[in-house]
């Protein structure tokens, strides 16, 4: 039951830096340009402050202290250094705060853009994209971008500036000593790079094993009934124990690598400082060119300022690549235009719509080279009920989806009251056509909320009237809090039969001219079955309907039965006509529908 879940085509976690992506991210900050500009100034100030602080310490030692200027001068100079130090830290507080504010603001906007965009994407997008992928655009990808802005962009600007200024100041004072520092930096960079790649690998292993653990838990919970029924608890526990042991092992490895990296980086930093001391000592003892103590201390600090970003920049570089990969995917999604959008001159069907549906020469394939429906011609008069029957995979749901405009036909046309579906505005389509899917989906919220969602402005009375029209007021009494009963996630707190009837009530409140219904095949007791049938008949009365029918009673009432086989209509007519002649319908009827 428990299966190790791996993603065989995981998406790349990094992408090289791209100027166009950075520019696009920068543009996202335009609505917050005041904050962005403030932050940019703070970045410049902070990049100067740190080297200035190092310089000022050296200047105080070389100046008032070496000269013995007396306590007042020394105290004043020290106060100056202290003030600069306090100002530097105050700037850090604001740098962090503004970066956090800016990051949160743009990610909020980006998430909203992605969410709004996703709402407009057609079914073809959802059927071709894994749900996990869709979710990760809003969650982990946006989060990578946020951390890119908050932790990388402005921090690395400060650090880059700090390195340049520290190098310039060092070069100004002592060019050969700067040469020593620079000569050492590739070693530093290399050690950091090797360690980071090992740490990165270890970290990735931890993440992968963690997602295996969580995916396995999720799957175990989802199938717990089957697990218990088959008494597989011990087997599952063994599998899970193995995963957990693996995860602990990866964690230990990652901690071990991390434990080596920091001391190693610190050691290289200390070696570089020791080098500065050795060079300065050599100068004063051998070359007779002594270096003032203040200069030495200045150099000491400046070297630290020059090297510390090298360590941090590597980590930030990795984060930047992750942010690039996230940004690229998010922008790619945002740039992806739905296959159709309402044209500016989109047409509305005058209400009340009649509900004539005409399908002519329709061909469609999820991949155009593999048609699932071919040469479909159907004429449905207003108020008629059409039942689609056929073997599994014959194309019934696909035909229904095309009438709901979930997909566009590759060729041929569908018209509603004479208006081509393509030209119809989405608002008008939603008003005229409703779909009751087989899953009878309810969203979290009360039963009432689920029902009135069928039509904007619908009220409690509309919901009560709908139950009355469907002749199932009894349902309200059966629900623990009547219409205010919580449906639970995906309607889990109401029974299957109740869920179907609630969906019928929602469809009735929407009162569409054309109803597309995929009859649920879920097993319910015979009384509920009878009640559902009766309600369904009432729902379909005086309404054009296309029903993917599974009940013989529904099919008997149909004005037209379309028998579909491998994407083509192979027989059509009423039940009485078709049942009496040898052919596919009679065959289907005998094998499945009589039950
Ligand atoms: N989203 C999709 N992407 C690609 N192919 C699909 C998709 N949905 C359905 N198909 C394929 O199209 C064909 C028709 O499927 P469809 O769901 O319309 O059949 P159906 O008659 O409704 O079957 P059932 O009675 O089992 O629901 C099948 O071969 C199916 O595999």
The alpha carbon of 345 and the centre of ligand 1 are apart by a number of angstroms equal to: 33
Q: Which residue has its alpha carbon closest to ligand 1 atom 8?
A: 398
**Interval 431-484: pLDDT, tens:** 899 988 887 788 888 989 989 887 888 889 999 998 888 888 888 888 888 889
Number of Cβ within 10 Å of residue 491's Cβ equals: 23
- Predicted pLDDT of residue 210: 79
- Predicted pLDDT of residue 115: 92
CA 322/CA 140 separation, integer angstroms: 10
For residue 363, pLDDT over 90 is answered with yes
* 357-593, CATH topology level: Rossmann fold (3.40.50)
The alpha carbon of 390 and the centre of ligand 1 are apart by a number of angstroms equal to: 12
Under 8 Å between Cβ of 453 and 506: yes
Element housing 42 (H / E) = helix 33-60
- Predicted pLDDT of residue 295: 80
Structure-model confidence comparison of residues 93 and 345, the more confident one: 93
DSSP secondary structure of 269-331: HHHHHHHHHHHHHHHHHTSS-PPPHHHHHHHHHHHHHHHHHHHHHHHHHHHHHHHHHHHHHHH
Domain ranges for the chain: 15-173+319-338, 175-290, 357-593
Q: Which residue has its alpha carbon closest to ligand 1 atom 20?
A: 393
Q: What is the ipTM of this complex?
A: 0.96
- Predicted pLDDT of residue 379: 95
For residue 303, pLDDT over 80 is answered with yes
For residue 364, pLDDT over 90 is answered with yes
Alpha-carbon dihedral of residues 160, 166, 168, 172, nearest 10 degrees?
180
For residue 357, pLDDT over 60 is answered with yes
Nearest to 51 by CA among 83, 88, 14: 88
CA 585/CA 595 separation, integer angstroms: 15
Among 398, 518, 565, which is best to mutate for testing ligand 1, by the most ligand atoms less than 8 A from CB?
A: 398
The CATH number of domain 15-173+319-338 is 3.40.190.10: no
Which residue, chain included where needed, has tokens 């696009």? 24
- Predicted pLDDT of residue 248: 92
- Predicted pLDDT of residue 245: 92
- Predicted pLDDT of residue 478: 86
**Interval 204-249: pLDDT, tens:** 787 777 777 877 787 777 677 776 777 777 888 888 899 899 989 9
User: What value does the mean pLDDT of the chain take?
Assistant: 84
Mean per-residue pLDDT for 473-499?
Answer: 82
For residue 5, pLDDT over 50 is answered with no
Name the pLDDT band for 1 (thresholds 50, 70, 90): very low
Under 8 Å between Cβ of 347 and 423: yes
Phi, psi of 339 (to 5 degrees): -60, -30
The alpha carbon of 494 and the centre of ligand 1 are apart by a number of angstroms equal to: 28
The tokens for 562 are 């379309």
Burial class (CB within 10 angstroms; exposed 0-12, middle 13-18, buried 19+) of 588: buried
Mean per-residue pLDDT for 537-560?
Answer: 87
- Helix (H, G, I), strand (E, B), or coil: what is residue 376? strand
Q: Which residue has its alpha carbon closest to ligand 1 atom 4?
A: 366
Under 8 Å between Cβ of 74 and 65: yes
- Helix (H, G, I), strand (E, B), or coil: what is residue 364? strand
- Helix (H, G, I), strand (E, B), or coil: what is residue 557? helix
Q: Model's pTM, two decimal places?
A: 0.68
Q: Which residue has its alpha carbon closest to ligand 1 atom 9?
A: 398
């Amino acid at each position: 039951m428990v299966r190790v879940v791996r993603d065989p085509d995981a998406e790349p976690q990094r992408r090289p830096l791209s100027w166009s992506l950075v520019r696009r991210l920068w543009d996202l900050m335009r609505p917050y340009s005041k904050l962005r500009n403030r932050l940019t100034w703070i970045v410049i100030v902070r990049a100067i402050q740190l080297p200035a602080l190092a310089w000022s310490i050296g200047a105080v030692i070389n100046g008032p202290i070496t000269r013995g200027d007396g306590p007042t001068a020394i105290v004043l100079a020290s106060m100056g250094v202290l003030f600069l130090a306090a100002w530097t830290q105050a700037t850090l507080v604001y740098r962090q705060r503004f970066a956090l504010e800016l990051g949160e603001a743009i990610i909020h906007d980006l998430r909203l853009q992605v969410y709004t965009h996703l709402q407009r994407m057609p079914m073809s997008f959802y059927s071709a994209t894994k749900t996990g992928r869709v979710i990760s655009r809003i969650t982990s990808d946006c989060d990578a971008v946020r951390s890119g802005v908050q932790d990388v962009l402005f921090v690395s600007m400060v650090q880059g500036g700090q390195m340049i200024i520290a190098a310039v100041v060092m070069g100004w004072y002592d060019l050969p000593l700067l040469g020593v520092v620079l000569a050492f930096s590739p070693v530093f960079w290399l050690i950091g790079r090797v360690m980071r790649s090992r740490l990165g690998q270890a970290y990735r292993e931890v993440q992968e094993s963690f997602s295996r653990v969580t995916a396995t838990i999720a799957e175990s919970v989802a199938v717990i009934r089957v697990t218990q029924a088959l008494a597989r608890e011990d087997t599952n526990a063994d599998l899970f124990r193995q995963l957990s042991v693996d995860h602990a092992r990866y964690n230990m490895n990652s901690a071990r690598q991390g434990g080596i990296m920091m001391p190693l980086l610190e050691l290289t930093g200390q070696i570089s400082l020791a080098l500065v001391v050795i060079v300065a000592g050599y100068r004063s003892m051998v070359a007779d060119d002594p270096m003032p103590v203040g200069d030495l201390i200045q150099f000491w600090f400046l070297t630290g300022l020059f090297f510390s970003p090298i360590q941090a920049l590597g980590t930030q570089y990795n984060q930047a690549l992750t942010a690039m990969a996230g940004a690229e995917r998010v922008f790619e999604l945002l740039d992806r235009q739905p296959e159709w959008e309402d044209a500016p001159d989109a047409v509305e069907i005058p209400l009340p719509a009649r509900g004539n549906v005409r399908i002519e020469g329709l061909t469609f394939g999820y991949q155009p080279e593999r048609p699932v429906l071919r040469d479909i011609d159907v004429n449905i008069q207003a108020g008629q009920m059409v039942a689609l029957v056929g073997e599994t995979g014959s194309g019934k749901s696909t035909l229904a989806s095309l009438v709901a405009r979930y997909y566009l036909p590759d060729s041929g046309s569908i018209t509603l009251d004479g208006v081509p579906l393509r030209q119809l505005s989405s608002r008008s389509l939603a008003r005229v056509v409703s779909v009751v899917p087989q899953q009878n989906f309810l969203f979290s919220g009360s039963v009432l909320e689920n029902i009135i969602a069928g039509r904007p402005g619908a009220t409690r009375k509309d919901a009560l009237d709908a139950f009355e029209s469907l002749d199932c007021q009894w349902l309200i009494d059966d629900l623990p809090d009547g219409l205010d009963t919580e449906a639970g996630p995906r309607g889990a707190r109401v029974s299957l039969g109740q869920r179907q009837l609630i969906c019928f009530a929602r469809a009735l409140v929407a009162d569409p001219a054309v109803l597309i219904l995929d009859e649920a095949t879920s097993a319910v007791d015979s009384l509920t079955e009878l009640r559902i049938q009766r309600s369904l008949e009432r729902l379909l009365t005086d309404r054009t309907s296309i029903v993917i029918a599974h009940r013989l009673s529904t099919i008997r009432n149909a004005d037209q039965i379309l028998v579909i086989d491998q994407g083509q209509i192979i027989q059509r007519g009423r039940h009485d006509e078709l049942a009496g002649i040898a052919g596919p319908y009679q065959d289907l009827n005998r094998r499945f529908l009589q039950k």
